[in-house]
Every structure is written in structure tokens, then in C-alpha cells.
Amino acid sequence: MNLAGIYHRPESEMAYLYTKDVMHIRLKTAQDDITQVLLLHGDPYSLHSRPDLPKFYKHPTPMKKIHSDGVYDYWQAAITEPKRRLAYAFELTDQKGGQLIYADKGFIQPTDQKLLDDANTYFRMPYFQDIDAFHAPKWVEKTVWYQIFPERFANGDSTNDPTGTKPWDPQTHPGRQDFYGGDLQGVIDHLDDLKKLGVNGLYFNPLFKAPSNHKYDTQDYYQIDPHFGDAQLFKKMIVLAHQKGIRVMLDAVFNHIGDQSPMWQDVLKYGQSSRYADWFHVNQFPATYTPTANFEFAKDATYDTFDYTPHMPKLNTANPAVQNYLLDIAKYWVREFDIDAWRLDVANEIDHHFWRRFHNEMLALKDDFYILGEIWHSAQPWLNGDEFTGVMNYDYTGAIISCLINHELSSQGLVNQLSRQLMLYRDQTNAMMFNVLDSHDTARIMTVAHGDAALVRQTLAFTFLQPGCPSIYYGTEYGMTGNSDPDCRKPMNWHPDAKALAMYDFVHDLIKLRQKNWQLIAQGMLSLAALPDDQGIVIKRQLHHKQLTAVFNTGRNSLACQLVPIISQGLQKERLRPKGFVIAIQG
């Protein structure tokens, strides 16, 4: 038995309340080392206070191997305990029949009666507090998000266009400083189109006053940018969206602020004497920088910035005055405009104690509020239930792209990576993730796929079946192209040709499938399996008597496939061609 490969951590993603009465327990073991795991569990006080009761360790619960990642096997069991307090340990059997018990005191022999009868031997969940259940708003599980970059979605009011606004042209290649006149009236004009597509969540890139087209250099957090509209128009949009069953998420840029903000201008004017001097990380006064050829970037700045961008000085969020200022902003847009969620820009560079305050303040206003962090790497420290609800799941979807489009991962490699990612978080956390294939920060998925629409459809279908909420970047439903920022921010294509309309029809059908079967996809037990010889991947979701089965051909040859599809690509006479997929649902 490989003892070094056996691991469990109490009160974490390996032991957590799934609901107020059901607890999920996980164990990690070296792959293919352990053949059986039994969970010994019960009320710890029963061992010495109730000699009339049977010893709970004599009535174990079998654990199920749910995932493997190429290094480890992951086991899980769902259990209840009427007394709402739990002691537990693991009885392991290896390939040779050897047995050990793994508990809080380490490894013990199954025959060690003294230790088995000692409540302090076991891992413990002292008491199931309702607050321990991870905050997972039910509406999020049902949501298909649609990301809008406001300046490029639709120009509904030409009277508020910035000076030098360019003609609306989806084929253009935008420069970093270009404006095309997109605004909130344009969004209102197309709310029925979004409803028809089937999305029920809108994620907006920043709407607040700022000099740039992207608005991540905030000048005034309390004002809608005049080129987008005003507060009254924004409120109208929120009301109309809610009437259509569409939730709204805004972008909170709290890591940094724009250099045109009054606070930073005060620092530039008064230096160390400024009342805002401690609002920033100024390493040497005066705050200066040496411009480079690309004026957006700089070297030798005497203050900390986002990236190397001197126009975005970093806020000192450890300062209570800064915290109070940002929290007041966050509460203002929830309280006054009834937004449903915040997406938190550069969330990993802001200290945890601020996000805990933020979490509590938002849920005090709306108990089903959704808090989404922008984190591009493993996000365990932020996803323990007291900070974020989910994160932009770039690690997860990046693996999908690496396999299905770039062929840098084998099908087994993809299964391994996805399994490892899923086991980093609680099941309800995985259901809250924001699954994004392209965005304002990445090349568009059609460009990544070199214009191969079949690959894009296969990748979208695969992603829509994963735990978490799928997100459509504006124009992806029409197969829009674009390299990395700023080319991925082209004006929306409102005059699609036949090829674009075909992609739209597919995305519409995929969203309809996801919406109709959201509970099966969000809550069903997930199974991922690679086919032999790198031929493809099989996904299964099981919930009660209903099962979804999907086969994705990632290889070079056709596969035999007898599934009766709800939606498919490349299936002909029970043969599934390369780049094809089949999704079937029984029950």
C-alpha cells in the first residue's frame, strides 16, 4: 500500500456540507493502488456515552471512485448524520488484500480495538452549522451567460458617440484607442434578440466613467460613462432585463483605478501630503514614470500599477478607507439598481480580508447574490465559502481547448486535467464556475480554431456539458473572429451571412438543450472517460433515473456509435466522424 499517496484534509473540498444535512467526504489515493475504500462514520459521542448502540465502525459505507487524474484516484461518499456531528475514518484495501485504517491519528490496524473505540482517533466535523453549507445560488446553475463589451455590442444612440467614432464594421481590426459608439441603448434594442437566443444572464465589461474604450481605467465608479448613457437608462435596462428573466452582472475594477480619477490626481498634485497618499502603493514621491513607445506601458514607475500600465495605479485595499470606499460603491449598484452579480477584475491581487468583507456585505443585501472572481490559476484560497461563489474557469476551459482544438493534449490527458480541476473544489462550487472559451482578454475561439466551424461546434458542445455555467462572448454565436486584445473586440456582426446564421442556429439549439436539462447537467454525477487509442471522450451525467451520454470523436478515424442523438455533428449510419459528437438523454 502506497501510504504516501493517501491524503485527506478535514473541513475543505475533501469534507464539506453539500446541503445542510448531507456531507460529502473525499479521499485521494495513488492511482490503481487501492481497490476498496470503506468510510467508517458516526456520532463521536456514541462511542463512549451510548454503549447500548452498535459501534458505527462496524457498519461502514462504501466509497465510490469518481475520478482519476493520472497520478491519483479520488473517492467520494455522501452521508448524513442525525446528530449533526461526525467522526470518520477510512478503511483501505490494496491490490494485495492488505488493509489499514486511515484516521486523524494516522494509519492504524483494523484490529486495534482501543483506538477504534477512541473518538479522538477519527477525523471530525464537530457540528453541522447551516452556515457551513457553501453559498451556491440556485439561479446560477440555470444560467447561460452572455458577455457584452459595451463599446462594441450595438450603437443605439449616435448622439452620445465619442469624438472620432468610427463606422460600425465587424470586419475591421480595432486599434487600442478606437471608438465605435456602442452604448446601453444598443443593448436595450437587442434584449429581445438575446432572449430569443436563450441566454438568461448578461455580464457587462465596465460601464463606469473612464477615458478608454474598455473602461478598466475607472475615473468615477458612481457614474455610467456618458458615452454609454446615464443612470436612468441603465436602470431601465435592468428592469427590462429582469422582466425577460435575464440577470445582470457588472464588472468591478477594484484592484486599480484610472489615472484621471480625482484621488490619483490629488496624489500627483500634493504628493506625500495628499489625503489619498496611502490609498496607493507609491514607493517614492513624486509619483512618476518613464513613458515607452507604446504609451499604455511604462518602465521605472515609482508606484505599483496593474501590469506595467501607468494609467492604472494599484489601490491599497489593505487601507480601511479604501475598503470602505469600494464597499460603498459595490453596495450602491446593488441597492439602487438591483444588479444580481459582480465580476471582480484581477481578484487574485487583492487581499483576502477585503474580499471576506465584500462577501458579507453583498449577501446582506441579496442572499442569492453571485460573486465571480477573475482568477486564471487554481483558486482554492478564494473558494471556501467566505469570499467568491465561483471564478472564471480559464484553467478548465483552457484544457478543453488544448485537446479539442490545439491537439496538445490527448483525450486521456484532458480527462486527467479536468478530473484534477474538479477535485480542487466542492461539488457545489464546480456548479458555480464561469466556463469561458473566449472573452475580451483572449483570442476568439473561431480564430483559435483557424476558422474550423466544426471544431468550434464540438468544443462548445463539450463545454456546455461541463459543471459550471457556460458563457458566450458577444458574437461567438455568429462565429466572429479576432486575435488577442484588441482584435477580439470588433464591432458586433448584426448582418450575418449564411455561415454565421448556421453557427447561430447551432448555439441556439445548444443553449436550449442546456436550459432544458440544467438540473441533470448541474447536479448529475459526472463521469469522464477517454476512449482507447486517443479516439475520443465519453461524458456521462446521471441524476435519479435520467442519464446523459455524450461521445466526442477527437481522433482521426470514424467511430462506431449507436446513440440516438438529441443533438449531434458528424453522425451518419452509426458512424461518428472526426470532429463529431453525439449527445443523447435517456429516462
Catalytic residues, which ones?
Answer: 345, 374
Closest residue by Cα to residue 447 from 494, 406, 391, 396: 406
Q: Strands 434-436, 106-108: parallel, antiparallel or unpaired by DSSP?
A: unpaired
Residues ≥6 apart with Cβ < 8 Å to 43: 56, 81, 82, 83, 85, 86, 87
SS3 559: strand
Q: Residue 220's beta-bridge partner residues?
A: 209
One-character DSSP codes across 487-500: GGGPPP-SS--HHH
Distance CA 124, CA 89 (A): 9
Distance CA 140, CA 302 (A): 42
Question: Could you give the C-alpha distances from 398 to 395, 428, 435, 540, in angstroms and in order?
Answer: 5, 21, 10, 21
- Element counts in the chain: helices (H) and strands (E): 17, 28
Distance CA 129, CA 43 (A): 15
Place of cell 484532458: 414
Closest residue by Cα to residue 421 from 445, 397, 401, 442: 397
| Contact by Cβ (8 Å): 539, 550 | yes
Amino acid at 71: V
Q: Residue 251's beta-bridge partner residues?
A: 343
Give just the sign of the alpha carbon dihedral 399, 402, 405, 411: negative
| Residue 566 per-residue DSSP state | S
| Contact by Cβ (8 Å): 374, 391 | yes
| Residue 165 per-residue DSSP state | P
For 290, the grid coordinates are: 518613464
Distance CA 136, CA 388 (A): 10
Q: Residue 550's beta-bridge partner residues?
A: 539, 583
Tell me how crowded residue 332 is: count the other CB atoms within 10 A of its CB.
12
Tell me how crowded residue 45 is: count the other CB atoms within 10 A of its CB.
12
**Radius of gyration in angstroms for the set of CA atoms belonging to the chain, rounded to a whole number:** 26
First vs last Cα of the chain: how many Å apart?
Answer: 41
**Length of the chain measured in residues:** 587
Longest dimension (CA), the chain: 84
Amino acid at 132: D
Amino acid at 163: T
The values of phi and psi at residue 90, to 5°, are -120, 130
Distance CA 192, CA 345 (A): 29
One-character DSSP codes across 172-231: S---TT------HHHHHHTHHHHHHHT--EEEEPP-EE-SSSS--S-SEEEEE-TTT--H
